[in-house]
Structure 1
């Protein structure tokens, strides 16, 4: 039995990992801890939202792919260490792109028995506008998805 656990460094994903480990350990299941690399685009300074590219000036900062990969590797290393400390065999995998698309595809490819994900991750502001990643994973995944609060 293999579970896929999505982590992003948030408290919610930490809780999802902890819960997945409590489910995996008594069953002798393994976990694959994944993080979907998607460089961040941040708007810095000013109180008003950016109305368009011309109005953005120097306020938009894009994270490089290399920085996003390094950030993801740190998150994955910590998560694998936590799993190992809990006595659960764990591996990690870097995915690329929108987690709503990357996670269900990956879970299908590895024939996962379930996906564990936090209720809210680091992108709360974005999720409030377009819908929760967790909700979309439930809709798109062919295996069971456990959403942890």
Structure 2
């Protein structure tokens, strides 16, 4: 979850899906440290921990479901997502169609595109608009 509208739409879809099938929902935020790994400070860690707590609370309140976990990681987003999916033995990875919007990104977004190429787990890409 990167805070974008795309991530929010994906989260809403994931909540609905997890409730429909009675699955545990894992929400992960990856701080991309590949551009400058030295820019991460203690204050940012505290902010990320607060964001994680807020995220868990809001998702839990919205779903009335305690079967939700949230994780914050640092590193390459694709690598971190794939590693986490392997750790939890994920049945599905669900992402938004695009991240925060890099001009040079592919139509799906850099991370989403890389996930589609590299994952061995089924991947669902949720568009921002459902055509309404």
User: What TM-score bracket applies, with the shorter chain setting the length?
Assistant: 0.7 to 0.9
Question: Which residues of structure 2 form unaligned runs of 5+?
Answer: 128-132
Other structure's SS at 2:103 match: helix
When normalised by structure 1's length, the TM-score is: 0.69
- The number of aligned residues is 122
Bigger Rg, which one: 1
User: Does residue 143 in structure 1 map to residue 116 in structure 2?
Assistant: no
Q: Give structure 1 stretches of 5+ with no counterpart.
A: 1-6, 43-61
Residue 125 to residue 73, structure 1, CA distance change in 2 (3 Å) = farther
1:15 and 2:9 correspond: yes
Provide Cα deviations, 1:58-96, integer angstroms capped at 9, x if missing partner. Answer: xxxx84343443443344334322321212321111222
Q: 1:20-59 alignment to 2 at 5 Å? A: 20-39=14-33
1:94 and 2:94 equivalent? no
Q: Distance in 2 between matches of 1:132 and 1:12?
A: 13
Q: How far apart are 1:116 and its partner, in Å?
A: 1.2
Change in Cα spacing, 1:103 to 1:40, as seen in structure 2 (3 Å) is: closer
1:106 match: secondary structure: helix
RMSD of aligned residue pairs (Cα, Å): 2.5
CA distance in 2, matches of 1:19, 1:8: 15
Q: 1:104 to 1:39 in 2, by over 3 A?
A: closer
